[in-house]
Amino acid sequence: MLARGGNACDAAVAVAAALAVVEPYSSGLGGGGFFLLHRAADRRQVMIDARELAPRAIRREHFFDASDNPREGATVRGGTAAAIPGVPAALDHLTHTCATMPLAQTLAPAIRLARDGFRVDRRYARIAQLRESLLRSSPATRLFLDRGRAPEAGFVLRQPELAATLERIARDGAAAAFYRGPVARGMVDAVRAAGGVWQLSDLEHYRVIEREPLNFVFRGATITAAALPSAGGIALAQIFGMLGHFPPGDVLDPQTAHLVAETLRRAFRDRSLLGDPDHASIPLARMLDPDRLKKDAAGIDVQRASVLPFAAEGDTGGSGNTTHFSIIDAAGNRVAATLTINLLFGSGIVGHGSGVLLNNEMDDFTLRAGLANSFRLRGGEANMMAPGKRPLSSMTPAFVEDDKGVLVLGAPGGSRIISQVLLVALEYLRHPEVDLRRLLAMPRYHHQHWPDHIEIEPEGFSAGWKTAMEGMGHRLHVVNRRWGNMQAVFQPAGSGPAQAASDPRGGEVAWY
């Protein structure tokens, strides 16, 4: 789209639609997300909130039995797990507000990929194998398999019904072709057949929301990140506000890693105060108050880990069940977009006749105080499930701008998204030269308050590093695989060439 004269919004529509076809395990028309936009002409920045909505007929009893015990799988499988999708509305919104090309042009590559097929890669084959039992459970989801089994890399996957849905959207727009008509009826019928309570009015009333992004300054750099219902931007603002009271350091040095972990711990502690700002009163001014953050920083012992009242084993999960892309065009317009259907292959429901795989975002709500979701995140009253509400998210598309230029970044990874963006941003700001490949390849660690341990990737941390961290009182949990699939673009100040890089944990798809 850029080569054809389009801008960053045109490219964003095309990329989001193409990913909906080739990464059905991560994102799609049946999911939602956040688009962080910067318009070069007037430097206007906006976040397009395309987060999913809880259906209006959903009730607490759909998730608890008569004894008030959680119904197993109710938030992750079947009709009660699916929330109303936002991606198609976002593509429509981008097309009418900032793109230059019609949907017929920007959706054309996705339509071809769905109709003619594409060769699945090793990543798809691995994930399909992980979720083979879910995909085999319904004739509608068997389309993602090869004769009922997880395909090998190279298998050509065709999705003719999804191609037809994309063609309808390209011709008539999302409001008429997705949120009304036969596609809408097919989704409602599939959800209700699986025990859900969707109504056509849920789809008809869905709207994206333009929100003011979160902006703050750290060591001379301006950082712009997703606002609520993303918890990510607020966490970054809090963490940078605390780290500003300590000297800068290499995030892989044990002393700095200790400080990063302690600030992550405190930011995730406050996550329980967050939720949909249209449904709950959020104490943002207090949470981001510089004096409060200074006090929090002063409470960090530079030699010892904090003591928390509760600890548990296990990791937070979530590495491939979301997608992200970053785009800058020649004029300086930019888009950072993080999109998801939540867990791998979502709820396992495909809308009748549409090829649209639906999300399981109801799992991102808080159902009861102290009850953790699939990412082991515990929420509070502000994120309690309610009809017509948007669940809290960890998706954190971001811009980092300083004298060197501007960095556009984001990642999948569930609750680990926030720490991924944080670590890369800190190292970007520390170095006068920018090497995106090095930044994205760095080993990763994560802390989210509960469970009370630092998760680390299986590679990249020496025995000496582990000994130093444990000597400061940190409990380490080695996760059995590397996580995330960050995508970043850097545009230097002035007239220098841009850099684009893809996470080595994923696939090499950067283009410039």
In 348-476, alpha helices (H): 416-430, 436-441, 463-471
Determine contact, residues 391/81, Cβ cutoff 8 Å: no
- Active-site pick, 165, 256, 322, 338: 322
DSSP 80: G
Distance CA 134, CA 144 (A): 11
Backbone angles phi, psi at 79, to 5 degrees: -65, -30
3-state secondary structure of 235: helix
Distance CA 103, CA 489 (A): 25
Whether 322 is a known active-site residue: answer yes
Quote the Cα angle for 411-207-80, to 5°.
75
CB atoms within 10 A of CB 503: 25
Closest C-alpha among 361, 357, 328 to residue 343: 361
Determine contact, residues 484/411, Cβ cutoff 8 Å: yes
Tell me the pairing of strands 118-119 and 156-157: antiparallel
Distance CA 46, CA 42 (A): 12
Backbone angles phi, psi at 502, to 5 degrees: -115, 150
Q: Which tokens hold the place of 426?
A: 């800190």
Cis previous bond, 451, omega within 30: yes
DSSP 32: E
Tell me the pairing of strands 405-409 and 445-446: unpaired
Determine contact, residues 29/87, Cβ cutoff 8 Å: yes
Determine contact, residues 28/164, Cβ cutoff 8 Å: no
Distance CA 350, CA 329 (A): 35
Close Cβ partners of 91 (under 8 Å, ≥ 6 residues apart): 13, 16, 17, 103, 106, 107, 169, 174
Phi-psi region of 57 (alpha: psi -120 to 50; beta: other; left: phi over 0): alpha
Length of the chain: 512
Q: Which residue has the tokens 């996957």?
A: 157
According to DSSP, the residues that pair with 209 across neighbouring strands are 49
Q: Which residues are catalytic?
A: 322
